[in-house]
Structure 1
Amino acid sequence: MELIYLDNNATTKIDDQVFEAMLPFLRESYGNASSIQHQLGRASQTAVEHARSQVATCLGATEKEIIFTSGATESINMVLRGITSAYKGKGNHIITCKTEHKAVLTTCRLLEKKGIKITYLPVNDQGEIDLDNLKSAIQSDTILVCLMAANNETGVLHPISDIAKICQERDTLFFCDATQLIGKSEINLTKIPIDILALSGHKIHGPKGVGALYIRRKRKPIQVPALISGGGQENDLRGGTLHVSGIVGLGKAMEIASFPPYISHYRDYLEQQLLDHIPAIIIHGSAAPRLGNTSSITFRHIKASEIMIAMPQLALSAGSACSAGLRDPSHVLKAMHLHDEDAFSTIRISLSRYTTKQEIEKTAQLLIQVVAQLRANSPIWQLYEQGLIT
């Protein structure tokens, strides 16, 4: 049985070019990038700086604005904890959103216990924020607005250009988790005044365990203290021996990142097939701007776990990989006003540039068949058909 992998918002297959770029730094050029006294160390340092240039070029940034981390979760912690410490003289208020990644929300909950005020912006039933709410929420003591570019569960896009301009006008820092947007849509930081941005390599066919943090260079430098202290690596912002092979892989992945337009056509084809052949389904965020690879679908009155168990040949998810194993319904879907039952009946399908039309056609066939079979044996579905429940 050949597996069809459709969980690319969780992680992606490493690209062959990325793997080949990394190999020399796992075997031959294995020096510590801080050991510049010898050839192997200098080779590693050169490779790291080349990768920094690759990342910066893709973002429209400069090399000095790029800090390598272990990924977006570390970067998020570094920024949220660091900003609240460095800017406590200005204020103690952060604005975020109810549908942010758990790395943001969990850290914000911890900061609240330390006296930081957090505003959690609501979203409508499409997962969109109201920019007027954002404007109203920014106060004199607001030190940071933290909003993602694209939602990892639904693919819904926030208007980051508008958000950045609002923050700029109000002299408030804007931190954007762009993890899901990178590699799927162009982002040029010379045109969008985002102050701080985080990304991870494993979402763009790069390696796991490596990411980058962009901190804009301004006349008045942005103060983000180090989360991890050590030997002064990354301009004293991130201590520890550099993950050279991973950084090289991230640089290559950024350089070759692409999102073929046919992927969004495949996603649209899949959704239309399901809408045409399966009653009582909900496609979340379908009326909002979305990533072209993401589909969050509720199959009413069937548990998502039952569907996935019945289709072992498909790699799908019931939501964010970072929330796997939790018994609570998706906080994203709850914020979009879904009932718990519908939230537990939701599957996320996320495509990559490796996804084929044949895989999508097979997925549609399997879902149509399996949902029909499960509902045929479901007393709850029979009650729904009889109009006895909604």
Structure 2
Amino acid sequence: MKLKKFTAGVLACALFVGGAAGCIAGNDESWCAKTSSTTLPAGVYIYELYNAYSEAQTKTTESDMKKAKIDNKDAMTWIADRAKQLTNEVFLLDDKMSASKLSLTSKEKTEAKQTADNAWTQQYSSVLADKNVAESSFQIAYAENTYKLRKVFQSIYDTNGSKAVPESELKSYFEKNYSDIDYTYVPLEKQSTSSSSSSSGTSSESTAMTDKEKAAVKKELDTYLTQVQSGKLTVKEASAAYAKIHSTTDNYQNVTENLSSSTATSSLPSDMIEAVQAMKNGETRLLEVSSYYYVLVTKNDITKKTSSYLKDSDNRFKLLYAQKGDAFMKELETEAKSYKGVTWNEELLKKYTAELFYTAPSSSAVASAAVDTTSSAATSSAASSAAASSAASSVAASSTASSAAASSTASSAAAKK
């Protein structure tokens, strides 16, 4: 498990689900579906088709999607139905935005564009650019829809919403499930620089410390541990002092997070999480983590963080979603399945089908699947953009990564598993 630097982020990537009305024939491939108020470009449906295909792969152990069955349907039909359902949800969220007189601010539109730009460049353009998906369509489906989902959700469950969660419940959930920690760490390895005979440059290598070297580091950190426990120093001050003496990076971090969440478990080593969860408020320990770090950590009194944490919009969204997200997404999915009033571009749907993303399994893949039928699902699950509630769950976590709430994604020096 890597110990990474907790850092702020932006809304990330998750799309959702939506089924529905009539169709129209024609040769115009610029649009995929429309209602009386909105026309969606073709790329939105094709992107949702990609999402549906990826999701389908997580629902079967069959390596050949043309042979797979999902929910008693052949997989390729299921994918087409799912893509229409996903597209319906784009319309549904627009309707809910209008009904509640909500709109994206200029700042949110700018952030959504930047989010889409980054994801398009880093991942999706290589998959979708040659399949009639413009980046502008991707932005609508990928980023803007996520921002809209968040605004609709908050209009229901946040302060003054139709189903507003009482402040006392938010406070109770936070204090029961979250931890607030200050920590700093020292890697149990040393860096060495060597020149290369095959080039004019130099290379840096890391090697594990000897037992004697580890003992020396521990002795020094034990001194800081005693000073923190006695109140003479804070972990932050100890970290700065250690970094100054050794002319190294200051690895201090403050993290306020549900340590059982995917945000924490993907960022912090499991043995560090277990140790912190067992600590009492106000306790400081020196931990040896994953055999690659010494970690000096204080577990703070979480109740002292409640007020400031709940004042932040991103933090509130994260807490609200943890409590009401599943119910919200199920309701949204139910509405999307029965959504009416969509006219579909029949010719486009005939041209762009699940075949667009189909790859026939190689003989080696088939053999591998016969040996281990779970590997295919595991691989495709990792690649999947996720759907329905699992996708929304991802939205919740990543949305809140835009603040101290998800101020969690740990430090740059890497621990090896």
TM-score, normalised by the number of residues in structure 2: 0.23
Higher relative contact order (CA 8 A, sep 6+): 2
More helix by proportion, 1 or 2?
A: 2
TM-score, normalised by the number of residues in structure 1: 0.25
